[in-house]
Amino acid sequence: MLVALLLTLSFTASAERLKDISSVAGVRVNQLVGYGLVVGLSGTGDKGGFTSQTFKNMLGQFGVTLPTGVNPQSKNIAAVSIHAELPPFAKPGQKLDITISSIGDASSLRGGSLILAPLKGADGQVYAIAQGNLVVGGLGVQGADGSKITINVPSVGRIPSGATVERAVPSPFATGDHLVMNLNQPDFTTSRRVAERINALLGPDIATSVDATSIRIRAPRDAGQRVTYMSVLENLEVIPAEETAKVIINSRTGTIIIGQNVRVSPVAITHGGLTVSILEDVAASQPGALSGGTTVVAPRSGIEVDADSGHMFAFAPGASLNDIVEAVNNVGVAPGDLMAILEALKQAGALKAELVVI
């Protein structure tokens, strides 16, 4: 225990817990979906269609038989879809939050109540039962002349703890001799470091790095011991590898994110009447006489911006992309212009990073 504590404390503040950068294979949420009726609306429900058929079928289950050819028309009812997420290890009797969305032409679900509806998984099995009063944050009001005001989305609501789990999902967590941890961000270096960190704590050959995502770990078969085992592992701290060099551009909002490892080759840029030139030199610092010191060589970057003449100047070698962006921003270039410059740099092969446009 003392050795394990010393190993944990030896990591720097940049280390991250294993639970924050990975997950256990097979331990996951499962999506549930259902169909039902919301009743009790104040004239804001569906105007007919398949909602009437659903309502008629529901009445038949309660022994109410309508005459042939009669379709009930009620604006106080709305057909809705229901969806929820079933967390891992959820047991029968536990509660789930659910979201209800109108799938007809109902204008608002405010004040409605969801009638008993099953929630099914992808395998078609019923895993939860939903029912309850909706909480709707939106508001819709319409006048006789057709004018209306809508706040947020009144056709969507939620029911906190509105579903009860009826069936547990089998989990592979307690089976087999091994557990597999999957990294949230695949990286060969991080995968290797995780395996080395676990082996340093628990012994050699306990963990094996399978690929850039998965680490295979030997684990006890007893379920109680396995829980304690995972409690120790998920709190281990590992220093993740540095991310690959990326530049992310959101073309809709003009947002540009530049990674710390992004670099550019020697380049000169001209954009319209704007010219940006990059120069990087070295400066030597000489020690004083008889001081016993050594000569130190330090990098020195220079950036020149010409916003009028449009002439191009090329200097070598290049500086970091952060320096280019800072220089461009200093002259008030719009985000669209900066995007165009970055794309041109990538096409020219000068941008040493992956350019991602979203």
Q: What is the pLDDT of residue 305?
A: 57
DSSP structural state of residue 284: E
- pTM above threshold 0.75: no
In single-letter form, the type of residue at position 204 comes to P
Examine residue 317 and say whether the peptide bond preceding it is cis (omega within 30 degrees of 0). Answer: yes
> SS3 of 343, please?
helix
> SS3 of 227, please?
helix
The Cα–Cα gap between 333 and 340 comes to 11
For 262-271, the pLDDT digits (tens) are 777 776 766 6
Hey, which residues does 269 pair with through a beta bridge? 276
For 144-174, the pLDDT digits (tens) are 545 556 667 888 999 999 999 999 998 888 8
Q: What is the pLDDT of residue 42?
A: 86
CATH topology of domain 2-27+172-238: Gyrase A; domain 2 (3.30.1360)
Name residues of the chain where pLDDT drops below 70. 1-13, 69-73, 138-151, 267, 269-334
Q: Where are the domains of the chain?
A: 2-27+172-238, 30-165, 246-287+295-357
Q: Which residues contact 30 (CB under 8 A, 6 or more apart)?
A: 85, 86, 121, 122, 127, 169
